[in-house]
Structure 1
């Protein structure tokens, strides 16, 4: 093959004159871009001024943050089983809240997901209404749900479990229904051709396709709920977050940091076990 001859400057100038928009955006487009940039920059500066941003405030905050971080080392070591067992109990409550909330949310969301799937529910008004219900549930933050359930059921892990479960109903139902919609129709056609009923199509053609996706979503959300369960404890919904909030309020930073380290270790172990389960049941490689 022969190399193509280089394009001369005269040819480039001729092409630019012939099709100028191919080399540069029209003036109206450039003007709109500059207007958008100026508006975004102005909004950014306005927000900084509105929220009291200043270099002096940032410097003072970083200095105080350094003082707080200085209490990380050496970490606190509990010298009595009574004090350490209280921390272990909080970790166990947080883990139990995340597990029970995730399971309850998945159990309720699984049948609801079929009502939101286009290939299962052919009634458009019902399907769209169910999907908007998913959105309404997901629009309410888990922390807000925890405050509501604390008011209704009192302090303790029960409020945290219900908050996680209700929040997960909307999330799981949406993700499950999308997995059902994205399943292949060929296995379903095969079951129908063999004389299978609608329930048999779902059981033998649809569920084998979506079960790995559903399991993966449940495991991932369980990991996420272990972390969010810590936050729920801060508002009184039980778990290790309550102890963490108590230590921070009492300025016992060495104990607070030790509790944070234990939370990080618990999240790591849960993530590792979740990866092993995912590898064994789904066949994917565990995250490292």
Structure 2
């Protein structure tokens, strides 16, 4: 290229050597990282007793069960077969609605609690390390213990029923959303906060007028995502007596009602897909509005 002065051979050789050394060091670090990951994966597989040969030998049992629960719908009388297959549809839909309502109420209660605690756990809003430590550890306890364990504890305390599932989902959602919300708060633009604080606004007023406008769309997006997760979780909580469609699903599995298993599973899958599609559109609108601002 015109206008460029070629480097002296000695300088060019020195720079080439430095580049080769730097790129070689980067490749060695990458290879070392892959080797560490491979060794850890091998150790984890040994500890978890992962045995590929046993998996290969018994995979036929899994596929055989899938064949047994395959929908009993033929080509000769498809409508009659579908009616016989979904013989319990009114009852199942009622239980499925109960499951969705459990997920909704658990998400609402947990979201409100996580919403309140997220501001207390944010390092850029609360200067007291003690307050932040207590809030963060509480959120960790809520999300570390599985919701199934919470459901078992609540069953012992309150007995069987949907309330158990709502409480279990609410506690676990508090920890999960509180963590996500606090991270959103910690990444806000602090200039509005500093301006309100300098003008004498209280902490609550600062959160209301300087923080909330920046985080509400992300909060809503995370809450909708959590609602999807809780719908699936509510179905599983029925296994431990928390009500909903999961209890009926477990009964069908235990009694070897293969057609009922596939019918209920199909309803759950369609419900989750529908909720996922609906909440995805809402999330895109929220994030699009935020980006437009």
The TM-score bracket by the shorter chain reads 0.7 to 0.9
Q: 1:230 aligns with which of 235, 241, 253?
A: 235
- Aligned position for 2:70: 72
Report the Cα distance in structure 2 between the residues aligned to 1:121 and 1:238, rounded to whole angstroms.
40
Note if 1:157 corresponds to 2:154. no
Report the Cα distance in structure 1 between the residues aligned to 2:162 and 2:71, rounded to whole angstroms.
31
- Check 1:199–1:187 CA distance in 2 against 1; reply closer, same or farther (3 A cut): same
Report the Cα distance in structure 2 between the residues aligned to 1:277 and 1:38, rounded to whole angstroms.
40
- Contact kept in structure 2, 1:278 and 1:284, CA below 8 Å: no
SS of 1:72's equivalent in the other structure is coil
Report the Cα distance in structure 2 between the residues aligned to 1:24 and 1:190, rounded to whole angstroms.
50
SS of 1:283's equivalent in the other structure is helix
- Contact kept in structure 1, 2:139 and 2:175, CA below 8 Å: yes
- Aligned position for 2:101: 96
- Check 1:185–1:265 CA distance in 2 against 1; reply closer, same or farther (3 A cut): same
- Contact kept in structure 1, 2:71 and 2:85, CA below 8 Å: no
> Alignment RMSD, CA only?
3.6
- Check 1:78–1:35 CA distance in 2 against 1; reply closer, same or farther (3 A cut): closer
What does residue range 126-205 of structure 1 map to in structure 2 within 5 Å?
Answer: 126-192=131-197, 196-205=201-210
- Aligned position for 1:275: 280
1:276 shift after superposition: 3.0
- Aligned position for 1:8: none
1:82 shift after superposition: 7.4
1:213 shift after superposition: 1.0
Report the Cα distance in structure 2 between the residues aligned to 1:275 and 1:263, rounded to whole angstroms.
18
| Greater displacement, 253-262 / 185-194 | 185-194
Report the Cα distance in structure 2 between the residues aligned to 1:84 and 1:115, rounded to whole angstroms.
46
- Aligned position for 1:245: 250
- Report the number of matched residues: 276
Superimposed CA distance per residue, residues 114-145 of structure 1 (whole angstroms, 9 cap, x where no aligned partner): 21112221111221221122112211011111
1:252 shift after superposition: 1.3
SS of 1:77's equivalent in the other structure is helix
1:250 shift after superposition: 1.2
Calculate the TM-score normalised by the size of structure 1: 0.80
| Greater displacement, 120-129 / 98-107 | 120-129
Q: 1:83 aligns with which of 68, 73, 88?
A: 88
1:66 shift after superposition: 1.9
Superimposed CA distance per residue, residues 36-76 of structure 1 (whole angstroms, 9 cap, x where no aligned partner): 5895476366347x46x362x33442212222111313357
Report the Cα distance in structure 2 between the residues aligned to 1:178 and 1:274, rounded to whole angstroms.
22
- Check 1:125–1:72 CA distance in 2 against 1; reply closer, same or farther (3 A cut): same
- Aligned position for 1:117: 122
What does residue range 205-224 of structure 1 map to in structure 2 within 5 Å?
Answer: 205-224=210-229
- Aligned position for 2:43: 43
Report the Cα distance in structure 1 between the residues aligned to 2:20 and 2:136, rounded to whole angstroms.
48
Report the Cα distance in structure 1 between the residues aligned to 2:33 and 2:184, rounded to whole angstroms.
39
- Check 1:151–1:19 CA distance in 2 against 1; reply closer, same or farther (3 A cut): same
